[in-house]
Amino acid sequence: MAKGFYISKNMGLAGLLMGAVAVVIIIALAAVYDKEKTKNQNKPVDGVAMLTTASPTTSSTLSTPKDPWEHYRLPDSLSPVSYNITLWPRLVVNASTGLYIFTGQSAVVFQCKKDTDLIVIHCNKLNLTLLNGHHARLTGLDGATAPTVKTSWLQVKTEYLVIQLNGKLTAGKSYRLSTDFQGELADDLKGFYRSEYTEDGGKKVVATSQMQATFARKAFPCFDEPAMKAVFHITLIHQRGTVALSNGRDVETVNSTIDGTEVTMTRFEPTKRMSTYLLAFIVMGQKFTYTQFVFVDTNCLQVRIWARRKAIAEGHGNYALNVTGPMLNFFERYYNASYPLSKSDQIALPDFNAGAMENWGLITYRETALLYDPAISSVGNKERVLTVVAHELAHMWFGNLVTLRWWNDLWLNEGFASYVEYLGADYAEPTWNIKEQTILNDVHKVFAVDALASSHPLSRKEEEVNQPDEISEMFNTISYSKVLYVLEHLLQQGSLCSRTSPTFAFNNTVYSDLWDHLQKVILTTPGMSLPHTVHDIMNRWILQMGFPVVTIDTATGHITQKHFLLDPDSVVDRPSPYNYTWLVPIKWMKGGVEREQHWLLQETGISNARSEWVLANLNVSGYYRVNYDMDNWERLLNQLTTDHTVIPLINRAQIVDDAFNLARAKVINTTLALRTTRYLSQERDYIPWESALRNLNYYILMFDRGQAYGVLQGYLKMQITPLFEYFRTITVDWTRVPTGHNDQYNQINAISFACRMGVERCRVLTSDWFREWMLNPDHNPIHPNLKTTVYCNAIAAGGVAEWDFAWQMFKNATVATEAAKLRSSLACTKVPWLLNRYLDYSLDPAKIRKQDCTSTINYIAGNVVGMPLAWDFIRARWNYIYTEYGGGSFSFSNLINGVTRRFSTEFELKQLKQFKEDNARVGFGSGTLALEQAIERTTANIKWVAENQEPVMKWLANECT
Ligand SMILES: *[C@@H]1O[C@H](CO)[C@@H](O)[C@H](O)[C@H]1NC(C)=O
Ligand SMILES: *[C@@H]1O[C@H](CO)[C@@H](O)[C@H](O)[C@H]1NC(C)=O
Ligand SMILES: *[C@@H]1O[C@H](CO)[C@@H](O)[C@H](O)[C@H]1NC(C)=O
Ligand SMILES: *[C@@H]1O[C@H](CO)[C@@H](O)[C@H](O)[C@H]1NC(C)=O
Ligand SMILES: [Zn+2]
């Protein structure tokens, strides 16, 4: 799935190198995957050994092993070969049950790997029709005789259909298991589900699917683990006049009549051998349509973009279509493998939980991640389309063709796709400097989470990730971004690309095989060397959580490292095999000149001529923070104020971010961090400003309800005003938009921060713009880039009239990105009753879509007035929210994170703990970890405010005079 990504700047070279690594990884995983099938056969059939390691003390009945169906992992006695699946979704409600349903038949041919009298197959929330008195029918193939069924039942907790046989299945023989079933086509965004939207005043229903991670079992009985690959023969039955899509091209469409109902049956070409989590089934009315073009090169690839008819008619699919072709070509060259399928469909769904899902050949998107309207969408919207499309297309090879063996290795899958996504995006839009623009977003995000004692290593043991909730917790920021740095450590080492010859042996887990191969490449490449083995370097980064702060004493030349923890008092109770030390590559410069790279722990040598500044982690190419002796800090600060352009752009952002975080961790003084913001009155670039704003945001969050806020606002107003005026000038009094991609982002920042800090000209500007629109609703004078901030500030400065107007515009909005902007801006009002009413709306699916509920509450919580209202709201309704929105939903942990962000008092901590206790029985699902993190963060905030409020106020007061 799609999230953010990070990429380094010296990409020209590294990009080339990555090409080689891509091929290596692909080969490595492909080989490992095939190996694993054999390896699995040696495991005990019931997987007991695995589980006892995981929880040796959970029960006193250790001597009586659990039955296979009580384990969350499938036994390894059976292996699927192919499925025949026929599904018939009904897009109208069933009059007698009041439900939307689908019916289906499925037959799976599997091979028996080990004699067994037990069939365990995933099946969740399906009503199976009894066949000869049992839940399924078993047939022997190729002369094998199938034993008769003794008994069968559904094991609800572990989501299995269990069938006990009267005799044994024989190793080496194949069998077919057939089922007939009925399921609910619910609007729960999981498995085969229904998506509803309104168009032309009427309700429209689309049947669609989301299988990752564990929901294919809700569509048909299947061996629902990523390594259980098979070929799928899919037929969809649907109402005449509707269109059906699946992973492959449709090969046959026939009209027929079933039980008196006129239907069309669409049969699809058999899929490639693939994992269940990548399947997709969609049935939609004629209201949906597509734009398409067919590549005329080698394999006549069919490329189509699907969306609501109106969106396509207005050309909103064109941008995605424009970039898909070049990117597919790029990836073919990059992976050195042609696109594996005969078609590529991408569809924008009105109701979708993740940003996008890389179903093989039929990628599903939120509308905002695929559709782009030049007249209405902002530069950020466009970039989102570009990067998400690139990410999903990258998965068509990495992830889909070559697949992780189990979810514990999700980091490899997502991290790699997130890396390659950048390359594809940069190829399609070379002038955007995406690398610069996004580098800090992801680094900083990952740093923030990974600096907590409750973080976790990138790679988890397979047996630590079993249940659906644990699997969905793997989809977090650390999985997605950390690996990029880690890989880059190796890439900087030289020309990996010159050798990719694939003569290597693989064993064990995926990543260690990869290290073996990289090691061989390095050993056999002339001129390449590393001071340590690839295993030594890489395992330290992926098997232990966190990252170091590297301290350079320029007087003595000493370099040291220490595990960086944001809360200095937190206790790490997770042992590390490496004692939390890393092999750190240190790129650095002295007096503006780049010097030779060091490997920390190997040597030290950064001595100083005392007058020149030293800067380490050049362009932030390594995953660590840097601290210096005070003299060097002074020299750096001095350089920033005299001529900041001497220091590379990315490092200006790094200095600010490192300083603020080191201060939070009490490694340096808070005032030193604040001093890195002094030069900002001269800074005109986006990246450093954005870095500063994010860090200052913490100060704003901690202080905006207290007495320090006055001076803080005063200082920041002083710093932002020159930037605001700069953009006023270069846009000729706000009549144009800057040409540079990053300048466009910076203009948005300048306006939104200036307004927030109370720059009067800014308030007038935004309120006037909005009023102009209110007077003439058909003509919106606000540039798409500026809409979010102008709406928000005008609504914040206004009252019920502004709010109701925006709500009306939200309801009328036909473009998803426009609706999203209004939806976030509606949370900006300062009027409590409007905020409370909006909270109520957020749980009413007729007003706010289910997929948008948690983010809407988060927007409200982001507002200083709305925060306590939102907290009361979710506490009062936790049970309901959890039942309706919890479970496997990915945005669930965001809700807890969002609402508790400002928490910084003992009273709030008490409330948080009470909340945890009160709802222990209800549970927190995929938000469990987030809740722990919220408690930890609140504790740290309390301490921070107690220690810093005084000195910060003093420093600020001094600056303001
Ligand atoms: C699927 O259907 C095809 C054609 O009807 C048949 O040849 C094949 O054996 C079936 N496979 C399974 C798994 O039932
Ligand atoms: C499945 O069976 C249960 C129990 O009979 C029933 O309540 C439910 O509505 C059925 N679901 C569907 C989709 O038919
Ligand atoms: C099936 O029926 C639909 C609507 O009645 C018609 O448009 C279509 O051409 C028919 N398709 C075939 C293959 O006969
Ligand atoms: C798509 O490409 C065409 C042809 O190059 C161009 O005219 C059009 O403006 C592009 N559309 C978008 C939205 O970028
Ligand atoms: Zn992904």
On the question of pLDDT at 953 being above 70, the answer is: yes
Report the alpha-carbon distance of residue 455 to residue 929 in Å, rounded: 9
Q: Which residues contact 678 (CB under 8 A, 6 or more apart)?
A: 637, 640, 641, 719, 959
pLDDT the model gives residue 486: 61
On the question of pLDDT at 415 being above 90, the answer is: no
On the question of pLDDT at 902 being above 80, the answer is: yes
Where does the pLDDT of residue 263 fall: very low under 50, low under 70, confident under 90, or very high at 90 and above? Answer: very high
Tokens of 552: 């350079």
CA atoms lying within 13 Å on the CB side of residue 362: 21
Candidates 264, 266, 267: which one to mutate for ligand 3, based on the most atoms within 8 Å of Cβ? 264
Using a 6 Å CB cutoff, which residues line ligand 4? 318-319, 322, 374
Q: Which residues contact 109 (CB under 8 A, 6 or more apart)?
A: 80, 81, 82, 83, 141, 174, 175, 176
Least confident of 63-72, 352-361, 623-632: 63-72
**Ligand 5 centroid vs 247 CA: distance in angstroms?**
17
On the question of pLDDT at 122 being above 90, the answer is: yes
Where does the pLDDT of residue 31 fall: very low under 50, low under 70, confident under 90, or very high at 90 and above? Answer: very low
pLDDT the model gives residue 713: 96
> Could you tell me the pTM of the whole model?
0.80
Report the alpha-carbon distance of residue 612 to residue 635 in Å, rounded: 7
Give me the percent of the chain exceeding a pLDDT of 90: 57
In this structure, the number of other CB atoms found within 10 A of the CB of residue 298 comes to: 9
Residue nearest to atom 4 of ligand 4 (CA): 322
Tell which wins on pLDDT, 63 or 950.
Answer: 950
- Which region holds residue 809: left if phi is over 0, alpha if psi is between -120 and 50, else beta? alpha
Closest-lying ligand 2 atom to the alpha carbon of residue 101: 13
pLDDT the model gives residue 595: 75
**Ligand 5 centroid vs 212 CA: distance in angstroms?**
11
Closest-lying ligand 3 atom to the alpha carbon of residue 254: 13
pLDDT the model gives residue 61: 41
Give yes or no for residue 82 CB within 6 A of ligand 1.
yes
pLDDT the model gives residue 24: 46
On the question of pLDDT at 20 being above 50, the answer is: no
Where does the pLDDT of residue 640 fall: very low under 50, low under 70, confident under 90, or very high at 90 and above? Answer: very high
Residue nearest to atom 14 of ligand 4 (CA): 319
pLDDT the model gives residue 334: 80
Report the alpha-carbon distance of residue 235 to residue 250 in Å, rounded: 9
pLDDT tens for each residue of 686-720: 999 999 999 999 999 999 998 999 999 999 999 99
Closest-lying ligand 1 atom to the alpha carbon of residue 109: 13
pLDDT the model gives residue 438: 61
**Ligand 3 centroid vs 243 CA: distance in angstroms?**
11
Using a 6 Å CB cutoff, which residues line ligand 3? 240-241, 253-255, 264
pLDDT the model gives residue 515: 75
**Ligand 4 centroid vs 731 CA: distance in angstroms?**
26
**Ligand 5 centroid vs 824 CA: distance in angstroms?**
25
Residue nearest to atom 1 of ligand 1 (CA): 84
pLDDT the model gives residue 127: 97
Average pLDDT rounded to a whole number, residues 798-820: 92
3-state secondary structure of 745: helix
Tell which wins on pLDDT, 805 or 539.
Answer: 805
pLDDT the model gives residue 128: 97
pLDDT the model gives residue 938: 94
Candidates 105, 138, 232, 233: which one to mutate for ligand 1, based on the most atoms within 8 Å of Cβ? 233
pLDDT tens for each residue of 59-80: 334 455 689 999 999 999 999 9
Cis ω before 356 (30° cut-off from 0):
no
**Ligand 4 centroid vs 735 CA: distance in angstroms?**
25
| 558 marked as binding residue | no
pLDDT tens for each residue of 918-936: 988 888 877 788 899 899 8
**Ligand 2 centroid vs 623 CA: distance in angstroms?**
52
On the question of pLDDT at 223 being above 90, the answer is: yes
Average pLDDT rounded to a whole number, residues 889-893: 63
3-state secondary structure of 361: coil
Where does the pLDDT of residue 655 fall: very low under 50, low under 70, confident under 90, or very high at 90 and above? Answer: very high
Give me the percent of the chain exceeding a pLDDT of 70: 85
| 391 marked as binding residue | yes
On the question of pLDDT at 767 being above 70, the answer is: yes
Residue 534's identity, in one-letter code, is V
Tell which wins on pLDDT, 611 or 137.
Answer: 137
Least confident of 171-175, 421-425, 820-824, 886-890: 886-890
| 199 marked as binding residue | no
pLDDT the model gives residue 48: 23
Where does the pLDDT of residue 479 fall: very low under 50, low under 70, confident under 90, or very high at 90 and above? Answer: low
Closest-lying ligand 3 atom to the alpha carbon of residue 241: 4
Average pLDDT rounded to a whole number, residues 348-352: 80
Query: What is 392-542's CATH number, 3.40.30.10, 1.10.390.10, 1.10.3720.10, 1.10.730.10?
Result: 1.10.390.10
Q: Which residues contact 240 (CB under 8 A, 6 or more apart)?
A: 255, 262, 263, 264
Residue nearest to atom 7 of ligand 3 (CA): 241
pLDDT the model gives residue 99: 94
Cβ atoms of 433 and 8 within 8 Å: the answer is no
Where does the pLDDT of residue 470 fall: very low under 50, low under 70, confident under 90, or very high at 90 and above? Answer: confident
- Compute the radius of gyration of the chain from its Cα atoms: 29
Least confident of 117-126, 437-446, 498-507: 498-507
Give yes or no for residue 392 CB within 6 A of ligand 2.
no
Residue nearest to atom 6 of ligand 4 (CA): 322
Give yes or no for residue 231 CB within 6 A of ligand 1.
no
**Residues bordering ligand 5, an ion, CB closer than 5 Å:** 1, 414, 417
DSSP state of 60: S
Closest-lying ligand 2 atom to the alpha carbon of residue 183: 13
pLDDT the model gives residue 503: 28
Give yes or no for residue 182 CB within 6 A of ligand 2.
yes
On the question of pLDDT at 397 being above 90, the answer is: no
Closest-lying ligand 4 atom to the alpha carbon of residue 319: 13
Partner residues linked to 293 by β-bridges: 303
Give yes or no for residue 184 CB within 6 A of ligand 2.
yes
DSSP string, 303-350: EEEEEEHHHHHTTTTHHHHHHHHHHHHHHHHHHTS--SSSEEEEEEES
On the question of pLDDT at 282 being above 90, the answer is: yes
Least confident of 298-312, 353-367, 724-738, 853-867: 298-312
Give yes or no for residue 657 CB within 6 A of ligand 2.
no
Report the alpha-carbon distance of residue 868 to residue 863 in Å, rounded: 9
Average pLDDT over the chain reads 84
pLDDT the model gives residue 296: 54
**Ligand 5 centroid vs 477 CA: distance in angstroms?**
12
What sign does the dihedral 710-711-714-715 (CA atoms) show? negative
Residue nearest to atom 5 of ligand 3 (CA): 240
Give yes or no for residue 93 CB within 6 A of ligand 2.
no
Domain ranges of the chain: 392-542
pLDDT the model gives residue 49: 24
On the question of pLDDT at 311 being above 70, the answer is: yes
Residue nearest to atom 3 of ligand 4 (CA): 322
Cβ atoms of 191 and 182 within 8 Å: the answer is no
Catalytic residues: 392
Tell which wins on pLDDT, 420 or 174.
Answer: 174
Residue 256's identity, in one-letter code, is S
pLDDT the model gives residue 477: 54
Average pLDDT rounded to a whole number, residues 389-409: 87
Ligand nearest to the CA of 127: 2
Average pLDDT rounded to a whole number, residues 783-796: 95
Where does the pLDDT of residue 85 fall: very low under 50, low under 70, confident under 90, or very high at 90 and above? Answer: very high
